[in-house]
Amino acid sequence: MHVPPWLWYAVITLVAWGVVGILQKLSTNHISAESSLIWLVVGFLLLEPLLYPGASVFHYSAWNLAWALLSGVLNALGAWALFAALKSGGKASIVAPLTALYPLVVIVLVPFVLFESITGMQLVGIGCALIAVILLSA
């Protein structure tokens, strides 16, 4: 069995973000969700010296640099919208599984933006994953 290389990275993401889910619960036991997001960004900033790219950053295309920055903006805005949903009366048991469906946006747009396609079997896998996310977040 040849495991695709991306899957190993995806497992690191899964484990790291899975632990984050626990820490999120622990932090919001003591502070509000918004404060928790602010301190999360402080945690991001602690990593910055290790990631500092130096002058090489100017070699990349302006568009790709813009996408990288904008991805950060959208990620944080999404987290804010999630808090707003919970604060305006949304039940966590409904809001969490609903917002976990963000891969659907990517799946719908990818054929038009990146011209990638998927096989029938992979589509079954995506279906399983989306059902899993809904059940696990409920």
Partner 1 sequence: MIFNGTLKARWFWYSMACVLCWGGWALLSKLGSREIPPETMQFLFTFGTIPVCIALLVARGFKLEKSPKGISYGILNGVLSGIGGLALFAAYHTNGNTSLITTATALYPMITVVLAVLLLRERFRPIQAVGLIFAAAAIVIFSL
Residues 33-52 that bind partner 1 (CB under 8 A): 34-48, 50-52
Rounded CA separation 75/48 (Å): 17
Question: Which tokens in the block code for residue 21?
Answer: 């889910």
Q: Counting contacts by CB under 8 A, is residue 105 touching partner 1?
A: yes
Q: Counting contacts by CB under 8 A, is residue 121 touching partner 1?
A: yes
Min CB(119)–partner 1 separation in Å: 9
Q: Which of residues 60-79 bind partner 1 (CB under 8 A)?
A: 60-61, 63-65, 67-79
Q: Counting contacts by CB under 8 A, is residue 16 touching partner 1?
A: yes
Q: Which of 10, 9, 37, 13 shows the shortest CA–CA distance to 23?
A: 37
Q: Counting contacts by CB under 8 A, is residue 12 touching partner 1?
A: yes
Alpha carbon distances (Å) from 48 to 42, 44, 45, 54, 78: 10, 7, 5, 11, 22
